Amino acid sequence: MIHIKTTYPKFRKRTKWLQDKHNSTFIQWLHFKVQSELNGEEHNGVSKNLRWLVAGPSMAVPSYRSYLINGVKFNTKAQDDV
């Protein structure tokens, strides 16, 4: 938050604006900090969990045509129409 206050001195007393700016820029800031800490090396003292968080969410989602729940098979609508 100190970085934002010094970067945007006109807004240093506007708490709501500062919080919104912090929330919208934090992930980019964290990504930059971790990448600069790694400095081209694979680990360089940065934990696996922190590297995983900085990578962001995965867009890969598993999908299935049917589900087996308590011994009962349920098909998706697309599978039923086949």
Helix 48-55 and helix 15-38, axial crossing angle in degrees, nearest 10: 120
Q: Is residue 52 part of a domain?
A: yes
Into how many domains does the chain fold? 1
Helix (H, G, I), strand (E, B) or coil at 39: coil
Q: Is residue 26 part of a domain?
A: yes
pTM for the whole thing? 0.50
Sign of CA dihedral 8, 12, 24, 3: positive
pLDDT per residue as tens digits for the range 48-58: 888 888 888 88
Domain containing residue 22: 1-56
Per-residue pLDDT at 6 exceeds 90: no
In contact, 54 and 34? CB cutoff 8 Å: yes
Confidence of residue 73 (pLDDT cuts 50, 70, 90): very high
Q: Is residue 61 part of a domain?
A: no
Q: Is residue 72 part of a domain?
A: no
60-69 mean pLDDT? 90
